[in-house]
Amino acid sequence: MATLNDVAAVAGVSPTTVSRVINNYGSLSEKTKTKVFAAMRELNYAPNNLARSLSGKKTQLVGLIFPSVSNPFFGELVATLENTLFAAGYKTILCNSANNADKERAYLRMLAANQVDGIITSTHNLGITEYQKIALPIVAFDRNLAPTIPIVSSDNYQGGRIAAEALVSQGCRHIVMLVSSAETPEPTNDRQRAYADVLQQHHLTPQVTPLGFTTDVSVKRLTIRTLLQDDPTIDGVFCSDDLTALLVLEEAEQLGRKVPADLKIIGYDGTPFMQAYHPELATIQQPFNALGQLLIATLTACIDGRPPKVLAPLPVQLRPGRTLTLDWA
């Protein structure tokens, strides 16, 4: 690897001048700049970022801690984030936490050791104190990590409300909600709260079924199938994510339940992927790009020491589909 000194030698200037060119400071004539750039090209030179960062420059590295990009939801979000970060001159270190506390801890240490400029995270398995120890800019997606850590999210309560009301308005009387975990302090639980509120307002009984965090889909399928089989009165299902809604749709149709006539289904997230490949699924659409932009904007604000303003949840939107059409006939 060519070094700055090599470039200087080839360009016939001093190392300091090369550094001046790289960092664009001091006064420089066009002629020298050209010479230096030519030498860089000739040597295929790239400044050693380790050395640059060691001597004070920012690393321009950002850590992304998400459960797993194998989940299309996070895959799409991470893709958006990476694109935006790249455009802003940042590099992305990917961390799939797998909802594993030890791994998450290891990732935080590692990111600190690598001197990242900031972290965006969407997992939460560690205690608040562990996050407060991190002396790094952090932004959370849909998680309460610590009082000091800004949260970017969309309006989960509103989303839950819209979904529940849609089901009720279309005549559902026995509406079940499927979630991963019934009790968490996370913002996403607002969906569940809203669902319960709406049903109670309509004098209906909320019924929340937790499916757990298992990645084994067959287990989920079985739970869903059993639920539907055991209770033929169920006429509406609200899932806290689209993939689960997909399973409900498939299982319901296999059981001979007519969707949406007998059973109406609505999911949550509405990623571009779902929109493209499963437009039949009604869902609550999160503002995907806006969330990505806001996450990055908030993080860069923290990095640059600008106070992150209080963040309002972004609005969500009902996207109807075959599984829940909106007829006001």
Partner DNA sequence: TAAAAATTGTCAAGCGCTTGACAATTCATC
Partner DNA sequence: GATGAATTGTCAAGCGCTTGACAATTTTTA
Nearer to a second copy, 123 or 158 (CB): 123
- When the beta carbons of 25 and 328 are compared against DNA, the nearer one is 25
Instruction: Name the binder of 326 from a second copy, DNA, none, CB < 5-8 A by kind.
Output: none
> 144 with 186: CB under 8 angstroms?
yes
User: Residue 304 CB, nearest distance to DNA (Å)?
Assistant: 16
Q: CA–CA distance from 183 to each of 6, 63, 164 (Å)?
A: 61, 28, 19
For residue 64, the partner it binds in DNA, a second copy, none, with Cβ less than 5 to 8 A by kind, is a second copy
Burial (CB < 10 A; 0-12, 13-18, 19+), residue 1, is exposed
Q: Which does 78 bind (CB under 5 to 8 A by kind): a second copy, DNA, none?
A: a second copy
Distance of CA 1 to CAs 7, 37, 91, Å?
A: 11, 16, 21
Contact letters (x/-) for DNA, 47-76, by CB under 7 A? xx--xx-xxxx-------------------
Q: Using the rule CB under 8 A, is 75 a contact of a second copy?
A: yes
Q: Residue 301, Cβ neighbours under 10 Å: how many? A: 17
Largest CA distance in the chain: 84
Burial class (CB in 10 A: 0-12, 13-18, 19+), 72: middle
| Using rule CB under 8 A, residue 169 touches a second copy | no
- Residue numbers 34-63 binding a second copy by CB under 8 A: 44, 46-51, 53-54, 59
The residue from 12, 127, 212, 232 that contacts DNA (CB under 7 A) is: 12
x/- binding map, residues 17-36, to a second copy, per CB under 8 A?
A: --------------------
Q: Does residue 176 sit in helix, strand or coil?
A: strand
- Residue 57 φ/ψ region, left for φ over 0, alpha for ψ in the -120 to 50 degree band, beta for the rest: beta
Phi then psi dihedrals of residue 208, to 5 deg: -105, 125
**# of chain residues touching a second copy (CB under 8 A):** 53
Q: CA 239, CA 265: separation in Å to the nearest integer?
A: 8
- Out of 10, 13, 95, 140, the residue judged to bind DNA by CB under 7 A: 13
Closest distance of CB 68 from a second copy, Å: 5
Angle ∠(321,322,328) on CA atoms, nearest 5: 80
Which amino acid, 113?
A: A
Residue 56 interacting entry, from a second copy, DNA, none, C-beta within 5 to 8 Å by type: DNA
Beta-carbon contacts of 196 under 8 Å, excluding residues fewer than 6 positions away, are 206, 208
Q: Which stretch binds DNA (CB under 7 A): 24-32, 146-154, 218-226, 291-299?
A: 24-32
Give contact residues for DNA (rule: CB under 7 A).
Answer: 1, 3-5, 12-17, 19-20, 22-23, 25-29, 31-32, 47-48, 51-52, 54-57
Give contact residues for a second copy (rule: CB under 8 A).
Answer: 1, 44, 46-51, 53-54, 59, 64, 68-72, 74-76, 78-80, 82-83, 86, 91-96, 98, 103, 106, 109-110, 112-115, 133, 135, 217-218, 243, 246-247, 250, 272-273, 276-277
